C-alpha cells in the first residue's frame, strides 16, 4: 500500500513541478521507464503467486533500469542508438505482456 501511495505521489509531484530533462539523459528516459514498468508488473505477478520479496523487487527494479540504460548507451556509442532502444523496448514489452497475462490468469483463473 505504501508503494502505491508513493507511486501516486511521485506522479502528482512530476506533473506539478514539470521537471526539465537534460538533453544528455533524454535517450535513456523512455527505456528506463519501460524497464521500471517491467519490474512493477513482475512484482505484481510475484505477489499474486505468493513469491514477492521486497529485496528481490528493489534489486530487480534497479538492475532492469541500469542494464536497459547501459544497453542504450552501448548502442549510442556504436552508432545504433535508436535500433538498440527499439530492441530493449521490444524485449521489455514482451516481458510486460507475459507478466500481465500471468496476472490475468491468476486473477481471473483463465
Whole-number pLDDT of residue 13:
93
Region 36-44: what's the mean pLDDT?
Answer: 92
Q: At what angle do helices 54-78 and 29-48 cross, to 10 degrees?
A: 150
Distances (CA, A) of 103 to 2, 8, 9, 74, 110: 21, 21, 25, 33, 10
Whole-number pLDDT of residue 7:
79
Q: How far apart are CA 37 and CA 96, in angstroms?
A: 8
Region 22-39: what's the mean pLDDT?
Answer: 90
Whole-number pLDDT of residue 26:
87
- What pTM did the predictor assign? 0.81
pLDDT at 71 over 80: yes
Nine cell digits for residue 102: 500471468
Amino acid at each position: 500500500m505504501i508503494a502505491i501511495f508513493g507511486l501516486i505521489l511521485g506522479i502528482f509531484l512530476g506533473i506539478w513541478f514539470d521537471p526539465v530533462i537534460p538533453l544528455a539523459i533524454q535517450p535513456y528516459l523512455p527505456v528506463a521507464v519501460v524497464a521500471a514498468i517491467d519490474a512493477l508488473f513482475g512484482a505484481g505477478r510475484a505477489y499474486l503467486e505468493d513469491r514477492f520479496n521486497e529485496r528481490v523487487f528493489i534489486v530487480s527494479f534497479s538492475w532492469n533500469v541500469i542494464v536497459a540504460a547501459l544497453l542504450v548507451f552501448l548502442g549510442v556509442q556504436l552508432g545504433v542508438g535508436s535500433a538498440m532502444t527499439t530492441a530493449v523496448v521490444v524485449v521489455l514489452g514482451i516481458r510486460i505482456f507475459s507478466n500481465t497475462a500471468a496476472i490475468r490468469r491468476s486473477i481471473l483463473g483463465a
